[in-house]
Amino acid sequence: MTSPAIYLALKKSGIARRLNSDYSKEEAIRHDFFSKIDTREKAYWLGFLLADGCVSRKAEIIIAFKGIDAGHLALWRATVGSKRKITKSGKAKTFDKSRWFYKSARFVIKSNRMAADLFDLGVIPAKTGRTIYPEGIPEKLEADFWRGAVDGDGWLCRAKSGKRRQLVLGLTGDLPVLEAFRKFVVRYTPTQASIRPNGKKKLLKFRVTDSFAFTMAEILYGDAPVYLKRKHTFFLKVRRGLKAGRSARQFR
């Protein structure tokens, strides 16, 4: 029987034809991944999504990243068992007299269950300005959560301070998240650093430098099972430098 004949028979029987929107378009992935944060892997990706992810009102979980870090999106895709494509794009940008080509990568999955669980954990649509620190993360998994957050919207780098370079580890975000991050850092270092405005943006920042930065980097990345490769590679470079006899303050 042809499709038109089937639709006609359904109409005569008073049975409404289903629309495309009535069908589930979710693929078979780990929809319950965030239903309980009980592994280092789950804590990491929660931190990453809280910092740099997005949940749409259509239950889409979206991550957009620099093209150089597209491999990290492939890791997330494999983690949840998705077969969807990672889309890559690029466009020319200009600022003052500078011009460059910006490459980006984007990955989207659809999951009503995962979106609902993330919502309960604070990853909500249009979350900027409303982000909170999720409740219920076991203390033993906090370092994994914060590594995910730093990988998503923080930095581990060297930066100039006057005539010397500093090792810097920091995070940007909303006040409740940064207050929780500062509390975590104070647990391991006697830092007096405070939360400050992040330039002209509405977001705030908190950072530690030199030996405090390395202490926290060791805690976050020292035995990490999941990480952004670029930042982990930098951490290992710093660690090798320290073993060679240089201090974090002298790092080049």
Q: Is 57 helix (H, G, I), strand (E, B) or coil?
A: coil
Query: If we measure between CA atoms, which residue out of 53, 47, 38, 52 comes closest to residue 109?
Result: 53
Can you tell me the mean pLDDT for 68-91?
Answer: 91
Q: Residue 18: pLDDT above 80?
A: no
Q: Residue 21: pLDDT above 80?
A: no
How does pLDDT run across 206-216, given as a tens digit for each residue?
A: 999 999 999 99
- CB-based contact 191:183 (threshold 8 Å): no
pLDDT at 7: 42
- CB-based contact 231:151 (threshold 8 Å): yes
pLDDT at 8: 52
Lowest mean pLDDT of 75-84, 123-132, 230-239, name the range.
123-132
Neighbours of 18 (CB within 10 A): 9
Phi/psi of residue 53, nearest 5 degrees: -105, 180
CATH 3.60.130.10 fits 40-243, yes or no: no
Residue 66: pLDDT band with limits 50, 70, 90: confident
Q: Residue 239: pLDDT above 90?
A: yes
Lowest mean pLDDT of 21-25, 181-185, 234-238, name the range.
21-25
Q: Which amino acid is at 220?
A: L
Tell me the percentage of the chain whose pLDDT exceeds 70. Answer: 81
Spatial separation of the C-alpha atoms in residues 213 and 4, rounded to whole Å: 68
pLDDT at 246: 58
Spatial separation of the C-alpha atoms in residues 229 and 219, rounded to whole Å: 16
Spatial separation of the C-alpha atoms in residues 140 and 158, rounded to whole Å: 28
Q: Residue 24: pLDDT above 80?
A: no
DSSP labels, 89-112:
EEEEEEETTEEEEEEEEEEEEE-H
